[in-house]
Amino acid sequence: MNSREDLDDFIKNGHKQYLSHLSIDPVIFGYHDQQLKILLLRWRGLNGWGLPGGFIRKREPLSQAANRILQERTGLDNVFLQQFQVFGDSPYRLQERNAQEFANTYGFEVDTDHWLFERTLSISYFALVDYSRVSVTTDFFTDGYQWCDVSEIPSLLFDQNEVVEKALATLRLQIYHQPIGYNLLPDKFTLPEIHSLYETILGKKLDPWNFGKKLVSLGLINKLDERRSIGAHRSPYLYQFDKEAYENALTQGIVHTY
């Protein structure tokens, strides 16, 4: 949505095209060089940083809507995007002050019955990407973006600090069940490479020896009969994700059983 005409139509007729009081707000984690960040957009009219959100079309399947919104706001496509929670405990997300400011910015009348000011429940998703490969696009509603380190998240719009915290907790929990980090490492990787990835995501030191043993015993990665030569006396073994175990995890919901 980039023209004034599109915008006017959206504000006036959006409630005919979209399901009211529901939004999708993905938390996009970006990993690169042992840093973990999230994507924030600056929302014009709301005068603050927030997640890249959007609405669901009336007949659009939910998962399709999530992918469309992510694609529209960030240019990202074909990403592992996982729903994790609906946030709906605060009856109103857009407070009166915000509503006034928002309406002023876009030049329309404030009316508490307006569909954009209805109570909104947020269906939250998360994804993990290599942020060095992403080109973020902004639109009429957003005038800037940043990849913000997870340890330095500013005060966000609505209840989105809680959303981000919960997303991080879920990511950390699911890293042993879901193929979250799948496309962040080369197809064949060394133990130190996956060790760094896990340390960064979990935000703490992991014993390298026990860590490798655990991943293998959980069936997440397989040791290959192949080494990488990285120096005169250094040629570490290579490992690969066990695709079957991961696919099993995605359908059965469990990797490690007892």
Residues that bind a second copy (CB under 8 A): 19-22, 56, 58-64, 83, 85-91, 119, 121, 123, 166, 169-170, 172-173, 177, 202, 204, 206-207, 210-211, 214, 252-254, 257-258
The rounded distance, in Å, linking the Cα atoms of 239 and 221 is: 6
In the complex with a second copy, which residue's Cβ is closer, 123 or 136? 123
Retrieve residue 255's tokens: 């990797």
We find the least distance from the C-beta atom of residue 10 to a second copy, in angstroms, to be 20
DSSP code of 18?
A: B
Distance between first and last Cα of the chain: 51
Q: Which is nearer to a second copy, 101 or 199 (CB)?
A: 199
Closer residue to a second copy in complex, CB, 100/252: 252
CA distance 235 to 227: 6
Single out the residue of 228, 162, 155, 132 nearest to residue 25, CA to CA: 162
Q: How far is the CB of 142 from a second copy (least distance, A)?
A: 25
| Alpha-carbon dihedral 172, 180, 220, 166, rounded to 10 degrees | 20
CB of 40 to a second copy, least distance (A): 22
Q: Least distance to a second copy from the beta carbon of 21, Å?
A: 6
Q: 203: part of which helix (H) or strand (E)? A: none
Q: Amino acid identity, residue 107?
A: G
CA dihedral 158, 87, 19, 69 (to 10 degrees): 70
* Residue 193 to residue 33: CA distance in whole angstroms: 10
With respect to a second copy, which residue has the nearer C-beta, 135 or 217?
Answer: 217
In one letter, which amino acid is 256?
H
- C-beta of 231 vs 253, nearer to a second copy: 253
Q: How far is the CB of 81 from a second copy (least distance, A)?
A: 13
Q: Report helix, strand or coil for 63.
A: helix
CB of 15 to a second copy, least distance (A): 11
Q: Measured from the CB atom, is 21 or 228 closer to a second copy? A: 21
